[in-house]
Amino acid sequence: MRFSTFAALLLAGTATQAAAQEPPVPAESLPPLSPFTADSGAPLSVAQAATDLPRLDLAIRIDPANKAISGEADYIIRANAPVEMAEFDLDPRFSVTSITVDGNETRYESADGQLSIPLGRTLAAGETARVSIAWNGKPWVAKRAPWDGGFVWSETPEGKPWVATAVQMEGCDMFWPCIDHPTKEVERLNSAITVPEGLVAAGNGTLLGHDTADGWTTWRWSTRNPNTYAIAINVGPYELASASFESRFGNTIPLKFWHLPGHAPQAAALLDEMKTYLDFFEEMIGPYPFGDEKVGLAETPHLGMEHQTINAYGNEFKPSPQGYDGLAQHEFAHEWFANQLTNSSNNDMWLQEGLGTYMQPLFQQWRDGEAAYLAALSSQRLALLNRTPVVPSSPITSNYYLDTDAGWGKDIYSKGSQISHTLRQLIGDEAFFTSIRRLVYGRADPKPGNFVPQFRSTADFQRIAEEESGKDLGWFFDTYLREAALPVLKQNRVGDRLELEWVRESGKPFPMPVEVQFGGRVVSVPMTGGKGSVNLGSERMHYVIDPLAKVLRYSATVERWQAWVAEQQEKAKKAKSGT
């Protein structure tokens, strides 16, 4: 999702990503976004749970002049249990012009953003029906894409229409009828996006072709198993940069970048950089999941988003002191951690965002070595808030992401990354990376064509990591993911002996080993039951706890610094407002 390491920059008062966004287009007289549509991933209804989606032919016409859309969603649905009703989510601001079942017009009910469509018969498990929905209207305009989602109606510097969507928190029902839940992916999506002649619609998957008639051009795309919020509209006077990558798995992967005119050199350079990312991910994680389609980028008027095989890119090709485009790399990480592996509920979103964020320091370790890795992790550490569990105990809505008091929408990034690092140090590289592969691909030996999309929970990750490491990791996952506060390491020096004790929020033991450096050596102190000690050999012996920062723990120093930053920001805010 949104470039994750921005949290540290926000704490330092340099919100460069937010500042890079174009001002939102006024919503004119549109009604407010309904609570049902504003939320994504709400519990499935009985009918929705019983409905699988083997195919969708989705036709959408984009009218930039009127900031309006119209479309038809032609579904083949399949019952996985007896079902008499089809239920789809769609923003009620749209007008539904017709609904048919197996070609016959049907009555339906529409309430609070959900369409209830009688099938006229009971589908037994395995049986199919065809449901077609036509709609039109003015979609919700994003106030601050990609954080607050919707349509972005913008213009290029030359005054040409430049249109994009970003709907992760609000979901697919913001602009097309869908089952707005991460587990309800369409197995095959054929999309036809019609735009004014002269514009290009860059879409998900493989381009099948395009045709022009009566001043409009229709661009036809096909993809498999798209993540529901990763189906995207990208329209502009695009030019195309192309390249290819010879995978270590024997297949050739096409790379495509739809960029604005005048950006050809920058686009070509970023495509070359993408090859490095591909090499990294395929070595460390496994095969690119959509190598039979493409690696795709579309230049957008908002910062970025992990739209499957057509990642939104709005970072303006900015250089970075790390020597790589962190936004492009982060969004690309989501092809593995969001689009191939999808969290099974909102509560488990850290699997997408935390593991996706860990891929930035891991990339720096792979490319530049240990110092770059530790420096990147140290920077991320400053952003942690620890106000609420990374995995809340009760079901949450996607809107919880924007709850600034809870801070959950920030911690799932950097804290998730720090947790990943600590788990890796605890169980070792072999167990850690095998666990990641099994989590992402459903198997430890992924190769192109031998895996399918995975829907995963934190419990799944814990089970897999325990199987691979041979260790009980309940205490680890409970402490870091199901409790808010970080564990505190208490130190007490008694003569030449250093006594250590872990204290966690629940009061339960935390048997995390701790390394202590002294006298030119490093000793790993077992912390059975959460306590341990080491003989330093001298009352005056200098020592360093956890010299390589292997363990995520509470830091009073960071907490004081964060409080100071918040105080300075509040002073600056008051000074600006004159209060």
Whether residue 87 sits in one domain with residue 216: yes
Residue 26: DSSP 8-state? P
Amino acid present at 466: E
Distance CA 215, CA 527 (A): 72
When pLDDT is cut at 50, 70 and 90, the band that residue 577 belongs to is confident
CA distances from 31 to 139, 163, 201, 412 (A): 10, 21, 28, 32
Asked if residue 23 is part of any domain, the answer here is no
Model confidence pLDDT, tens digit, residues 500-553: 999 999 999 999 999 999 999 999 999 999 999 999 999 999 999 999 999 999
Model confidence pLDDT, tens digit, residues 118-167: 999 999 999 999 999 999 999 999 999 999 999 999 999 999 999 999 99
What domain range is 135 assigned to? 31-236
Whether residue 454 sits in one domain with residue 513: no
When pLDDT is cut at 50, 70 and 90, the band that residue 29 belongs to is low
Answer with the one of 217, 236, 255 that is the final residue of a domain: 236
Whether 15 has a pLDDT exceeding 50, the answer reads no
Asked if residue 57 is part of any domain, the answer here is yes
CATH label of the domain that carries residue 204? 2.60.40.1730
pTM of the model: 0.94
Model confidence pLDDT, tens digit, residues 195-246: 999 999 999 999 999 999 999 999 999 999 999 999 999 999 999 999 999 9
Whether residue 526 sits in one domain with residue 464: no
What angle, 0 to 180 degrees and rounded to 10, lies between the N-to-C axes of helices 370-381 and 408-427? 140
Q: Which two tokens stand for residue 333?
A: 């990480």
Enumerate the active-site residues. Answer: 331, 413
Q: Environment class of residue 223 by beta-carbon count within 10 Å: exposed (0-12), middle (13-18) or buried (19+)?
A: buried
* Concatenated DSSP letters of 413-448: HHHHHHHHHHHHHHH-HHHHHHHHHHHHHSSSS--T
In the annotated binding site, the residues are: 330, 334, 353
In the annotated binding site for Zn(2+), the residues are: 330, 334, 353
Asked if residue 124 is part of any domain, the answer here is yes
Distance CA 366, CA 297 (A): 24
Asked if residue 311 is part of any domain, the answer here is no
> How many separate domains does the chain show?
3
Distance CA 567, CA 63 (A): 46
Whether residue 211 sits in one domain with residue 84: yes
